[in-house]
Amino acid sequence: MAAEIREDVQFVFDTNILVDALLARGPFYHYAVDLLEQVRDGHHEGWYAPHSLTTAYYLISKTLATETRNQRQARQITHQLLNKVLAFLKPLPQVGDEIKALPEEDGDDLEDLLIVELARTHLPNPLIVTRDKTFLQRGGIQAAHPKEILERGPAAWGEERQSIPFIDLAAQQRSIRPALDHRIAGVLRHGQYIMGPEVRELEARLADYVGVPHCITASSGTDTLLIAMMALGIGPGDEVITTPFTFIATGEMIALLGATPVFVDIDPHTYNIDPDQIEPAITPNTRAIMPVSLYGQCADFDAINAIAEKHGLPVIEDGAQSFGATYKGRRSCGLSTIGSTSFFPSKPLGGYGDGGALFTHDDHLAKAMREIRVHGQDRRYHHPRIGLNGRMDTLQAAIVLAKLDRFPLEVEARARLGERYNRLFQERLGDRVVVPHIAPHNTSVFAQYTLQVEQRDAVQEALKAQDVPTAVHYPVPLHHQPAFTTGQARCPAQGLPVSERISQRVISLPMHPMLGEGEQMRIVQAVIEAHG
Ligand SMILES: *Cc1c(COP(=O)(O)O)cnc(C)c1O
């Protein structure tokens, strides 16, 4: 089983292969075209070395000029041909210090040596596609003729993969590396590290994506919850109704403000707050309702908003796990008074550090949250309210911007992989496991793909033995956390039986947009074997 799983390989196209394919010449050009088409259609990753483009340009335009006897036209056609492949091939970074590390005794030409050094430095599993004999024989890096690659099958070239990552941020990084480098270099160039132009650009793009007028970025998904409640004036003596089946931050920020988290139970199918439990928990001290859109699926906002409206309460969505999800066609974070999300690296839209964002339709709340984010300041050194240092770094905004272009594709991939997991488990294990139930009016971004199983510890052990990592989100509901058992929280006298039961049974499997179908199958097989 394990032997079938291979690392994805990155095809690096040598100049001669690009020239063959674009001119449609040489005895083997159709192999080159075929492989390039597979890359274009998204089946494999393809790269080129920018420094080799001048050679390709020279060779193609020279050939065309000899034939057409028209230099200008030859150059035009060369541009068009190159643009065709550059639209889907990714450039290796420009040559930097690699040039100093070139082996002295190597007799190859500089162009080839640089391709090898760049590919080795920047790609995890490169394969040079070439018909150059010296290249094919030089060693130190995988290289193969396109004919050989196609005959063996392009997917068969990777190294055998030993273990499956829970979330593969490295694969995602490879797919956006040029955009990331470009964005980060832009910040290093202008030097506005605090509240630079990327912060404003990100806020505009996110507001547009969610479909609300205001987005305020912040230092983390925890701080966004804090800022949201501060803007609503929540403090000591107040109560906020929320779910116990969530990450600690949700209840923690309520308590940090001196308010009381009031936990009510969850829906046994979606694991989100059960709207029917909210109204009985409302008291004269209730100041807000804070549903969490858990595992990537929105809570039932129409029902929640109706109760809130009846009692004149604001609703804060903790959408740390659901950015990109939709509820009745509308996007998470735009469904209530305030929406909050996180850019923690493992979240659906994750950065390379901490970050978060707030969303609202309300102009006054937007102004308040902007001020609170910067020490309650409305203009320089003038502070009408108490706030904090809750800004998102410009560098972090630049990184999230680089990821945002690919995000819609990733949201689709997540939905597809989630559905495929569901189908495979239902076909093979029937009701021996409970697969995620996505309400018909929802689309999920599957921040987690979470099953309910009978013998969780045994299943987790069995998967570990097969090198399949798992996690439990969350083993202890918040009303049983020591920090909340000392009095600064409330829950119904009979406890919260659904949350308590579900927290004993859930197990999350590897899930990320680059998860391969082979890998996914291996995970499914391991879960089946764990069930004997
Ligand atoms: C991750 C998470 C948070 C906190 O976000 P950070 O950016 O890590 O501070 C809050 N609520 C939920 C539901 C989360 O999953």
pLDDT band at 304 (very low <50, low <70, confident <90, very high): very high
CA-wise closest residue to 478 among 276, 292, 270: 292
CA-wise closest residue to 259 among 488, 524, 440: 488
Residue 162 has a pLDDT of 61
Residue position matching structure tokens 């899930």: 511
Atom 1 (ligand 1) nearest CA? 320
Distance 452 CA to ligand 1 centre (A): 22
Atom 5 (ligand 1) nearest CA? 221
**Which residues have CB under 6 Å of ligand 1?**
220-222, 246-247, 249-250, 292, 318, 320-321, 342, 344, 354, 356
The answer to whether residue 2 is domain-embedded is no
Q: Best substitution site from 344, 354, 391, 508 to test ligand 1's pocket, by max atoms within 8 Å of Cβ?
A: 344
**Same-domain check for residues 136 and 268:** no
**What are the pLDDT digits (tens) for 196-214?**
999 999 999 999 999 999 9
Question: Which sign, positive or negative, has the C-alpha torsion 218, 222, 227, 229?
Answer: positive
* pLDDT over 70 at 4, yes or no: no
Which of 109, 129, 159 is the C-terminal boundary of a domain?
A: 159
The answer to whether residue 5 is domain-embedded is no
Beta-bridged to residue 355, according to DSSP, are: none
**Same-domain check for residues 355 and 213:** yes
* pLDDT over 90 at 140, yes or no: no
**Same-domain check for residues 232 and 282:** yes
Residue position matching structure tokens 């300041």: 377
Distance 392 CA to ligand 1 centre (A): 15
pLDDT band at 104 (very low <50, low <70, confident <90, very high): low
Residue 530 has a pLDDT of 95
* Contacts of 29 by beta carbon, 8 Å cutoff, 6+ apart: 20, 21, 23
CA–CA–CA angle 31, 37, 39 (5° rounding):
110
Q: How far apart are CA 386 and CA 30, in angstroms?
A: 68
Q: What CATH number is associated with residue 14?
A: 3.40.50.1010
**What are the pLDDT digits (tens) for 33-42?**
999 999 998 8
Q: How far apart are CA 342 and CA 353, in angstroms?
A: 10
The SS3 assignment for 141 reads coil
CB-based contact 183:198 (threshold 8 Å): yes
| Higher local confidence (pLDDT), 429 or 112 | 429
Atom 6 (ligand 1) nearest CA? 221
* pLDDT over 90 at 246, yes or no: yes
**Same-domain check for residues 428 and 399:** no
Q: How far apart are CA 393 and CA 164, in angstroms?
A: 32
Q: How far apart are CA 54 and CA 228, in angstroms?
A: 54
**Same-domain check for residues 124 and 151:** yes
Structure tokens at 13: 């196209």
**Same-domain check for residues 77 and 126:** yes
* pLDDT over 70 at 257, yes or no: yes
**Same-domain check for residues 207 and 316:** yes
**Same-domain check for residues 190 and 152:** no
Distance of CA 223 to the CA centre of its chain: 20
Give the mean model confidence (pLDDT) for residues 100-112. Answer: 71
* Contacts of 241 by beta carbon, 8 Å cutoff, 6+ apart: 262, 264, 278, 281, 282, 286, 288, 289, 290
Q: Best substitution site from 243, 246, 247, 341 to test ligand 1's pocket, by max atoms within 8 Å of Cβ?
A: 247
Atom 7 (ligand 1) nearest CA? 221
| Higher local confidence (pLDDT), 114 or 497 | 497
Residue 485 structural domain: 407-530
**Same-domain check for residues 207 and 287:** yes
pLDDT band at 1 (very low <50, low <70, confident <90, very high): very low
pLDDT band at 112 (very low <50, low <70, confident <90, very high): confident
Distance of CA 292 to the CA centre of its chain: 19
pLDDT band at 3 (very low <50, low <70, confident <90, very high): very low
**Same-domain check for residues 207 and 341:** yes
The answer to whether residue 168 is domain-embedded is no
Q: What CATH number is associated with residue 181?
A: 3.40.640.10
Residue 380 has a pLDDT of 94
Structure tokens at 130: 């070439």
Looking at the chain, the whole-number percentage of residues with pLDDT higher than 70 is 96
CA-wise closest residue to 272 among 238, 304, 315: 304
**Same-domain check for residues 155 and 195:** no
The answer to whether residue 193 is domain-embedded is yes
Residue 377 has a pLDDT of 97
Q: Which atom of ligand 1 is nearest to the CA of 246?
A: 13
When divided into structural domains, the chain yields a total of 3
Atom 14 (ligand 1) nearest CA? 320
Q: Which atom of ligand 1 is nearest to the CA of 347?
A: 1
**Same-domain check for residues 70 and 216:** no
The answer to whether residue 155 is domain-embedded is yes
* pLDDT over 90 at 19, yes or no: yes
Characterize the bridge pairing of strands 316-318 and 326-327: unpaired
How much is the pTM? 0.79
Residue position matching structure tokens 């390039």: 36
Q: Best substitution site from 217, 256, 298, 318 to test ligand 1's pocket, by max atoms within 8 Å of Cβ?
A: 318
Distance 110 CA to ligand 1 centre (A): 49
* pLDDT over 50 at 501, yes or no: yes
Residue 33 has a pLDDT of 92
The answer to whether residue 290 is domain-embedded is yes
Q: Which atom of ligand 1 is nearest to the CA of 292?
A: 13
DSSP assignments along 288-321, one per residue: EEE-B-GGG----HHHHHHHHHHHT--BEEE-TT
Distance 276 CA to ligand 1 centre (A): 25
Which of 104, 128, 159 is the C-terminal boundary of a domain?
A: 159
| Higher local confidence (pLDDT), 101 or 301 | 301
* pLDDT over 50 at 2, yes or no: no
The answer to whether residue 169 is domain-embedded is no
Q: Best substitution site from 229, 295, 341, 342 to test ligand 1's pocket, by max atoms within 8 Å of Cβ?
A: 342
Q: How far apart are CA 299 and CA 265, in angstroms?
A: 13
Distance 413 CA to ligand 1 centre (A): 22
The answer to whether residue 166 is domain-embedded is no
Residue position matching structure tokens 């936990």: 263
Q: What CATH number is associated with residue 520?
A: 3.90.1150.10
Number of H helices, E strands in the chain: 20, 17
Which of 377, 404, 431 is the C-terminal boundary of a domain?
A: 404
